[in-house]
Amino acid sequence: MLLKIYRDSAIIAYVRPDDNSELVQKLMTDDLVKLSFTHSSYIDLQIGDNLLLNGLEYCLNSLPNYTKASANEHKYECQFQGGIYELQKASFLLYSDFYFDFTGNAQGFLDLCITNLNRDLGGYSAGTCDVTEVKTLTFDNMSVLDAINYIKDELGFEFYLVGKVLHFTTPGVDTGLTFKVGRFQGLYELTRKKVESANIITRLWAYGSQNNLPPDYVSPLVYKRLAFENPLLNNESRVESNVALYGIREAVKVFDDIKPERTGTVTGIDTENNRVFIDTAMDFDLNAYLLAGLTPKANFKTGALAGITFDLSYDNATQTFTVDYFTDESGTYPNEILKFAIGDQYVLFDIWLPPAYVTDAKSRLKTAAEAWLAKFDHPNAMYELNNDEAYVRDNAISFTLGDSVTISDTDLAINGLIRITGISRNIANPYKYKLDVGELMPTPLLKSIGTQLKNAQAATQSNTVEVQTVKLKKADTASVFTQAQTLALIGDIDRKFYGGRADEVYQLPNDNINCGNALRE
């Protein structure tokens, strides 16, 4: 086959790819054409030249390797990069500011990404977007691609790009295809490439936030931090899985975003006083749940004032809240333009909540702990599939990142759906594939506590959280640990991270109880 290389929409060369030329794609990271070819005359390839493959444009962003073998033998090795690399070319700004806070859900962040991409590049649009919680994130001199990776880690979604349509959701479908090694089975070879077993965890001590708990709340082992009682494990705040297979491998995780909380909704407003809103669904008297030394607060999750935290008071007889004005350099809120509206959602904090809310939080904590442990209670293997090109051709098969296929092999004891996370497709022979399949590995790896603290610079340092919106400013262990050892470790965690960022994980070390490593989700 011949490929056309373009410059400013004009064809500058026809080239025949060598046999080792390939399209390389990896989920959320790579999309590039590794093109090698020999030409009878010199081609002055320049940055910005491009080619089309499978209907998508790939751009030359660096000069190719070039070898002159003779007057009529010119060899090139090029990398033409796909659309994901274009996302690095645009800065992630709010108006003209590169350092700013932004409050939103995935859709809000997606819209801001599109705005930045269309500032100069043009032609981008928003695709499918997951429904997520609202968060306030801090951005500091990031490209759009950097920002997307930060946002998706914080809000828990995947992204992909089709042409210039950016999607914030998980790609892929169940293809219904089954592959085995053997004639007419679809595979020449099945290779297990790596097995990440060092960080297998079979016992997880899980704890939640320190906020919104009753003054007399007592949690096992840890001072005043949300915990659940697992009746199968001595009523301790832990879950276990695959202990019989891999032994005891312990870790501690703090889910600091899980706490007793109530998401309220504004059901009425006072047209004469923009500081007042009403919630007729409020099911307890706030004044009976105040904490000594703290003023109750509400952080708005949606609406014109999303992201702002207000001090407030409450009239139980009328189910009316009155907030104090919030003022910063950009103005005072609420005001005549940015104010409460029916349907706005908010969360109360710096109070304690009735027992039913504590019970609900414990249930959510246990569910989160079980889901988290399920990611780490087994070796995470990746497999490479060397597909039978005749089988692919005869069955008109094509592969897409994120799709799932069934892999069956008795020796490796696998038989089930496995997701495609990487594709290498030969350009000269488009039926020749190599696929990377396996569980999509969690992005965090073991990091030092110091690095975690640096990354958590935007986190709250107390029970009070004040955030601003776009409207306001532009280890492997088989040891069994005693309760005393675990208590000492978690106490050390609380000393280092009290009031800090959520979702820290600590793997218990083999020979001491000093927290040497942190695993960030």
Mapped to the 3 state alphabet, what secondary structure does 445-492 carry?
Answer: CEECHHHHHHHCCCCCCCCCCCCCCCCCCCCCCCCCCCHHHHHHHHHH
- pTM reported for the whole predicted model: 0.71
The 3-state DSSP class for residue 134 equals coil
Question: Where does the pLDDT of residue 203 fall: very low under 50, low under 70, confident under 90, or very high at 90 and above?
Answer: very high
209, 504 Cβ separation under 8 angstroms: no
Question: Where does the pLDDT of residue 11 fall: very low under 50, low under 70, confident under 90, or very high at 90 and above?
Answer: very high
83, 31 Cβ separation under 8 angstroms: yes
Amino acid type, 159: F
pLDDT at 510: 38
CA distance 16 to 260: 63
- Summarised one tens digit per residue, pLDDT across range 448-473 is 223 333 333 333 333 333 322 333 33
- pLDDT score of 190 more than 90: yes
The secondary element (H helix, E strand) that includes residue 395 is none
- pLDDT score of 374 more than 70: yes
- Summarised one tens digit per residue, pLDDT across range 298-347 is 999 888 898 889 999 999 999 999 999 999 877 899 999 999 999 999 99
Question: Where does the pLDDT of residue 415 fall: very low under 50, low under 70, confident under 90, or very high at 90 and above?
Answer: confident
Packing angle between helix 144-155 and helix 106-120, nearest 10 degrees? Answer: 170
23-37, 74-88, 186-200: the lowest-pLDDT one: 186-200
CA distance 434 to 333: 57
Burial class (CB in 10 A: 0-12, 13-18, 19+), 9: exposed
pLDDT at 507: 52
Percentages of the chain per state (helix, strand, coil), in multiples of 5: 15, 35, 45
Token pair, residue 310, equals 């207000």
pLDDT at 445: 29
Average pLDDT, whole number, for the chain? 84
57, 32 Cβ separation under 8 angstroms: no
pLDDT at 28: 94
Token pair, residue 219, equals 């949690």
Token pair, residue 389, equals 């090109």
CA distance 250 to 206: 11
pLDDT at 157: 94
Among 36-40, 52-56, 131-135, 379-383, the range of highest mean pLDDT = 36-40
CA distance 436 to 26: 9
Phi, psi of 7 (to 5 degrees): -140, 115
- Summarised one tens digit per residue, pLDDT across range 239-252 is 999 999 999 999 99
98-102, 242-246, 418-422: the lowest-pLDDT one: 98-102
pLDDT at 329: 77
Region 394-413 average pLDDT = 92
Residues near 301 by beta carbon (within 8 Å), at least 6 away in sequence: 133, 134, 263, 345, 346, 347
